[in-house]
Amino acid sequence: MTNDFYIFETKFGLLKIESDGEYITTIEFNNPTSNNQYRLNDTIKSAFVELNEFFDGKRKYFSFPIKLNGTEFQKSVWNELMKIPYGETRTYKDIAISIGNPKACRAVGLANNKNPFPIVVPCHRVIGSKGALTGYAYGLNMKEILLKLEKGMK
């Protein structure tokens, strides 16, 4: 069975939301790709409403269901990212320590890069150990925009 998906225009660019009907399975930001026909379902609609509220500064948390698909290590990183409070940041080292693998800073970065749920699994809240904005799959400019958005809404 193929998943439903829809590509929405937002004030921060194109946003593709994909769903198996029950869960959101992926979100792609900016340059979403697809060879399939658009199919919109209620799960996608509710996810889009919440994401748009976030972009408008009216939402800090998400309630739509997501399905994390990845390695056990990736899922441990992504679950830890969801614990970072809104408007705050952590370093790659902080995340590595919190998942019990203090030497896995680079692996944490790789897991962030494979995150299928930008914004919802807030990999944009992870920064370099000296406070620098480092690596973001959607570009450092977008990472900065998202962090500023959250700082302004705190």
Give the residue numbers marked as catalytic. Answer: 123
Burial class (CB in 10 A: 0-12, 13-18, 19+), 58: exposed
Write the CB contacts of 20 (distance below 8 Å, at least 6 apart in sequence). 1, 3, 4, 67
3-state secondary structure 28-97: EECCCCCCCCCECCHHHHHHHHHHHHHHCCCCCCCCCCECCCCCHHHHHHHHHHCCCCCCCCEEHHHHHH
Burial 6-28 (b: 16+ CB within 10 A, else e): bebeeebeebbbbbeeebbbbbb
Find the length of the chain.
154
